[in-house]
Copies of this chain bind each other. A is one copy, B any other.
Amino acid sequence: MALKVYADRMSQPSRAVLIFCKINGIKFKEILVDISKNQQFSPEYKAINPMHQVPAIVDGRFKLFESHAILIYICSAFPGVASHWYPSDVTKRAKIHSVLDWHHANLRRGSAGLVFNTVLAQLDSHQSYPQVVNQAEGILLRSLSKLENFWLKDGRFLVGGSQPSIADISLVCEIMQLELLSAKDRDQILSPFKKVAQWIEDTKIATAPHFDEVHGVLFRAQKRFRERMKTQSELKAKL
């Protein structure tokens, strides 16, 4: 029975797992858990992941959630994954754990927090507080600066790699979520970080054509979101 990947391509960790499986030629079945329809709260999915988040995997009778844990599991349990994704060398592996752990409270918190409390708050009409937005933006900018000046200082990829690891896929998929902001806001945030921009390109190339294919949903959402935001602004201007 093939690996099952429960995912919604609008979720950045879902995309990371899907791209990783595809680039490594792993046979899997993608099962959509549509967040926009609250399918992550269904009783069926609760039995897979009681935290109601995507992605999750089922491999035979083994269930697992949390995308970093999933990526490491696939590297370890599936033969044929090239070693650069998750090297067996203890120090190289430790550095990958370090950047993945750092990611949680920094880049992910800043990026996901900003998108959730700005564009998604506006579109879904949920409450958003200026101090929460400011805090998220501050965390995001500091995280991008650390990527530019520390994590990418020694190589094309994170922690000095000349080839990508699971950390590159995970963190680049996170940054791609900023595509949901207005083009102006996105550019203002990302434009100072030249190494980060090059690293995103390098990761896209290293995972082509799967990177663009898996991100197709995000770009279609971007178009839809920007049109809705424009309509909302025009309506406001008329009032």
**Which residues does A use to contact B, with CB under 8 Å?**
50-51, 62, 64-70, 72-73, 76-77, 90-91, 93-95, 97-98, 100-102, 104-105, 108-109, 129, 131-132, 146, 150
Contact = CB atoms under 8 A, between A and B. Distances in A.
Given A73-B94, A94-B73, A66 B101 contact: yes
How many copies of this chain does one complex carry?
A: 2
Contacts of A65: 98, 102
B94 A72 contact: yes
A97 B77 contact: no
Q: Main SS of the interface on chain A?
A: helix
Most buried by B among A69, A146, A150: A69
A94 B109 contact: no
B66 A97 contact: yes
B109 A105 contact: yes
A149 B22 CA distance: 35
A117 to B, nearest CB: 11
A97 B109 contact: no
14 contacts: A50-B150, A51-B102, A51-B146, A62-B91, A64-B94, A64-B98, A65-B98, A65-B102, A66-B97, A68-B97, A68-B101, A73-B91, A104-B104, A131-B132
Contact of A73 (B69, B76, B90, B108): B90
A101 B69 contact: yes
Contacts of A150: 50-51
A109 to B, nearest CB: 7
Most buried by B among A98, A132, A150: A98
A68 B143 CA distance: 19
A100 to B, nearest CB: 8
